[in-house]
Amino acid sequence: MKAIINGQLFTPQAVADNGVVLIDGETIAAVGPAHMIEIPSDAQVVDAGGRRIVPGLIDIHMHGLLGHSCMGQGVAEVAASLPRYGVTAFCPTTITAPMDRVFQALKEIAAVIDARPRGARILGIHIEGPHLSPKRPGMAPADIQHPLTWEEYQRMQEAAQGHIKMITFAPEEGDAAALIPRLLEQHVLPVLGHTDASFEQVSEWVKIGLSHVTHAFNAMRGFHHRRPGALGAVLLHDELVTQLIADGHHIHPGAMALLWKLKGPTRMVLISDAIPYAGMPSGEYDWEGYHLFLDGDTSRLEDGTLAGAIALLNQDVITLVERVRIPFPDALTAATTTPAQLIGHGDRLGRLAPGYAADIAILEEDGSAWQTWVNGEIVFAADA
Ligand SMILES: [Zn+2]
């Protein structure tokens, strides 16, 4: 048995001062205030020193960090590095590239997943491009975007050894909308994103099972009171759980507050959308043919277009608390319980509760990680 004691506990929703987490092997055995939990005398004890004990963060949309990219075998280093930011599970996310490059990346990522690297859990691959709207490609070039087809999905899934879990695409391109129910049958999450769809189109897709949206506000047709657009549908329909990049630069705090008011912590998933140079010093970097300018707050192309984010998920939680005045347990829910449920791991990940995996982050007040656990083992310690 192991025990983490003397921390402020967030399960995330239940809060206890002087909390304890008791761990039996890979699994949480008990959680609660110290006076309610008996710690076996032979347990290995970690004193959290009054810090926050929270479920490990889950980032379902991220492209890399610290010079390591999710577009290939770098995923192993990404998994090894994420715990230093309190992240214990993630979906490596690909980017728009020529399809040969995408297939090669998928093969490499699949090999890494099958080798079960140390560090954060890899929950499956998230594809983001080149099946985007040429009108809303974000940082990616418009001319290599093309509609997602069933044949191409199958080829990608074959290259990925079945590890693809989410696909962000523009359903309005070609016949791609017809794939929404077919992907769901395969237990792959169709994700609306980088889309120029109308309010009416998105409302129709909700009826055939669309339930998730990539980074609300960014790279989608905006809201107008006579043409509410994709964004209007995202805001209106409760069926749509949406991602949010909460770095404080992609979206104005007022817009984040509006989204939060409409969706709340169970329909919002915080994502980092971090690029492989997240966590690195300011400067110029090259990534898959893109030349990026990092200024300490943002990553941009030369023309000023935002090119992914450089904040990691632990910082985003704090940004939401500080800039939008969201209570910490709610911000945490959107970075733990909600993403776990969304991708089908809600019975094992995303909470501190008996029977759940012992994936735990011990965080400082400013969000930085002091210690991170995956499967009952310490995988990062700031003072190590
Ligand atoms: Zn992205």
Model confidence over 206-223: pLDDT tens digits?
999 999 999 999 999 999
CB-CB contact of 189 with 342 (8 Å):
yes
Q: Are residues 22 and 130 in the same domain?
A: no
Using the mean position of ligand 1's atoms as its centre, give its distance from the Cα of residue 271 in Å: 9
Pair type for strands 52-55 and 360-363? antiparallel
Q: Are residues 48 and 170 in the same domain?
A: no
Residue 292 lies inside a defined structural domain of this protein: yes
Q: Are residues 94 and 24 in the same domain?
A: no
Q: For 127-158, how does the pLDDT look when each residue is reduced to its tens digit (9 = 90+)?
A: 999 999 999 988 888 999 999 999 999 999 99
Q: Are residues 48 and 73 in the same domain?
A: no
Q: Are residues 197 and 337 in the same domain?
A: yes
Q: Is 273 a catalytic residue?
A: yes
Residue 306 lies inside a defined structural domain of this protein: yes
User: Quick one: CA torsion of 292, 294, 295, 298, rounded to 10 degrees?
Assistant: 90
Q: What is the pLDDT of residue 384?
A: 80
Q: What is the pLDDT of residue 309?
A: 94
The three-state secondary structure class of 229 is helix
Using the mean position of ligand 1's atoms as its centre, give its distance from the Cα of residue 216 in Å: 12
Report percent pLDDT > 70 for the chain.
100
Could you tell me the two tokens for 69? 């990219």
Q: Are residues 221 and 246 in the same domain?
A: yes
Question: In this structure, what CATH number is given to the domain that contains residue 18?
Answer: 2.30.40.10
Q: Which of 340, 193, 208, 160 is nearest to 265 (CA)?
A: 340
Q: Are residues 158 and 254 in the same domain?
A: yes
Using the mean position of ligand 1's atoms as its centre, give its distance from the Cα of residue 252 in Å: 18
CB-CB contact of 128 with 136 (8 Å):
no
Residue 348 lies inside a defined structural domain of this protein: no
Residues in the 5 Å CB sphere of ion ligand 1: 128, 273
The order of strands in the sheet holding 268-271 is 125-128, 164-169, 189-192, 212-213, 241-245, 268-271
Which residue range is the domain that position 184 belongs to?
Answer: 57-342
Could you tell me the two tokens for 206? 């909700």
Q: What is the pLDDT of residue 140?
A: 86
Q: For the chain, what is the domain count?
A: 2
Q: For 253-284, how does the pLDDT look when each residue is reduced to its tens digit (9 = 90+)?
A: 999 999 999 999 999 999 999 999 999 999 99
Report percent pLDDT > 90 for the chain.
96
CB-CB contact of 229 with 221 (8 Å):
yes
Q: What is the pLDDT of residue 289?
A: 87
Mean pLDDT of the chain: 97
Average pLDDT over residues 185-190: 98
Q: Of the residues 59, 196, 247, 273, which is catalytic?
A: 273
Using the mean position of ligand 1's atoms as its centre, give its distance from the Cα of residue 137 in Å: 11
Residue 331 lies inside a defined structural domain of this protein: yes
Distance linking the first and last C-alpha atoms of the chain: 22
Dihedral sign for Cα 167, 172, 174, 176, please.
positive
User: SS3 string of 287-320?
Assistant: ECCEEEEECCCCEECCCCCECCECCCHHHHHHHH
Using the mean position of ligand 1's atoms as its centre, give its distance from the Cα of residue 327 in Å: 26
Question: In this structure, what CATH number is given to the domain that contains residue 139?
Answer: 3.20.20.140
Rounded Cα distance between 224 and 154, Å, is: 37
Q: For 93-135, how does the pLDDT look when each residue is reduced to its tens digit (9 = 90+)?
A: 999 999 999 999 999 999 999 999 999 999 999 999 999 999 9
Using the mean position of ligand 1's atoms as its centre, give its distance from the Cα of residue 188 in Å: 18
Q: What is the pLDDT of residue 52?
A: 98
pLDDT at residue 202 tops 90? yes
Residue 111 vs residues 59, 76, 135, 152, 308: alpha-carbon distances, Å: 21, 10, 34, 20, 26
Q: What is the pLDDT of residue 33?
A: 97
Using the mean position of ligand 1's atoms as its centre, give its distance from the Cα of residue 104 in Å: 19
Q: Are residues 261 and 246 in the same domain?
A: yes
List own/partner pairs for 68-73 with CB under 8 A and 24 or more apart. Answer: 68/276, 69/276, 69/287, 69/288, 70/94, 70/109, 70/276, 71/95, 71/97, 71/101, 71/105, 71/288, 72/104, 72/105, 72/108, 72/109, 73/108, 73/109, 73/111, 73/112
Pair type for strands 299-300 and 290-294? antiparallel
Q: Are residues 328 and 362 in the same domain?
A: no
Q: Are residues 61 and 21 in the same domain?
A: no
pLDDT at residue 288 tops 90? no
CB-CB contact of 360 with 21 (8 Å):
yes
pLDDT at residue 90 tops 90? yes
Q: Are residues 174 and 85 in the same domain?
A: yes
Average pLDDT over residues 234-249: 96
Q: Are residues 34 and 143 in the same domain?
A: no
CB-CB contact of 23 with 29 (8 Å):
yes
Residue 121 vs residues 50, 92, 99, 258, 272: alpha-carbon distances, Å: 27, 10, 26, 32, 16
Residue 347 lies inside a defined structural domain of this protein: no
Average pLDDT over residues 52-62: 98
